[in-house]
Amino acid sequence: MNVLDVKDVAVKYGDLQALWGISFSVKKGQLVALIGANGAGKTTTLKSICGLVPLAGGEIKHNGSVISGQPVHKVVDLGITLVPEGRQLFSKMTVEENLLVGAYLKRTHSKRAATLKHVYTVFPRLEERRNQTAETLSGGEQQMVAIGRALMQDPQVIMFDEPSLGLAPLMVKEVFNVIQELHRQGLTIFLVEQNVHQTLKVADYCYVMENGRIVGEGTGKQLEADESIREAYLGF
């Protein structure tokens, strides 16, 4: 069974249509990516799954049950969590306080100590900086906090919105290493990313979005071999 099924989903912002009947699926344990240029509709796709924007058509299922139309907190309680673009941390709060914010759900609150220990195992640097405020961290460290906060929600599916945006090349590599490690641990991952080179290397399957439509799909190798994809996104 697919963990996520997006079928014929349309989204409008007033008179502006952002998504035009898109369909894709994510199987349990897969790392699936959605690539495309700025303004293609990638973030709107994530928001539609989370329940942050209403659908103008179609439906979204999680483990076979319809979740479209559910409020955000109920979607999160099902185990679907988002690492947002720009990280969106509480800048004046400490690293640990930001992480603990992620364990606000009833099902996660009781085991937050064990989950926090796991997050510090994944990100030893955060344990070293646990009492620093988020605003004093580097961009890469802030991204670690954002990922750690999502892990505190004990997710079944973790969605990333441009996790490498604004990071130095070495930190981009580290973030992708973390995503791959979470994938190896069995987490289902849906990755929205403009760094197409790195994304095609790590993803099990990719969808290509243009102007609110899915215009291509395939494995990383298949898309790398596609001349139109190479010209549009890979620069050769």
User: Per residue in 135-176, pLDDT tens?
Assistant: 999 999 999 999 999 999 999 999 999 999 888 888 899 999
Identity of the amino acid at 27: K
Tens digits of residue pLDDT in 169-195:
888 999 999 999 999 999 999 999 988
The residues, any chain, with a CB within 8 Å of residue 168's CB and separated by 6 or more, are 139, 140
Q: pTM (2 decimals)?
A: 0.92
Answer whether 220's CB lies under 8 Å from 56's CB. no
Domains of the chain, start order: 30-37+73-234 (3.40.50.300)
pLDDT at 98: 96
CA distance 52 to 235: 34
- Distance, C-alpha 86 to centroid of its chain: 12
Q: CA geometry: angle at 230 spanning 188 and 218, to 5°?
A: 35
In Å, the largest CA–CA distance within the chain is 51
- Residue 224 pLDDT grade (very low, low, confident, very high; cuts 50, 70, 90): confident
Other beta carbons within 10 Å of 130: 15
Angle in degrees, 0-180, between the axes of helices 112-122 and 169-184, rounded to the nearest 10:
130
Residues facing residue 26 across a β-bridge: 4
Task: Write the pLDDT tens digit of every residue in 19-61.
Answer: 999 999 999 999 999 998 888 999 999 999 999 999 999 999 9
d(CA 206, CA 208): 7
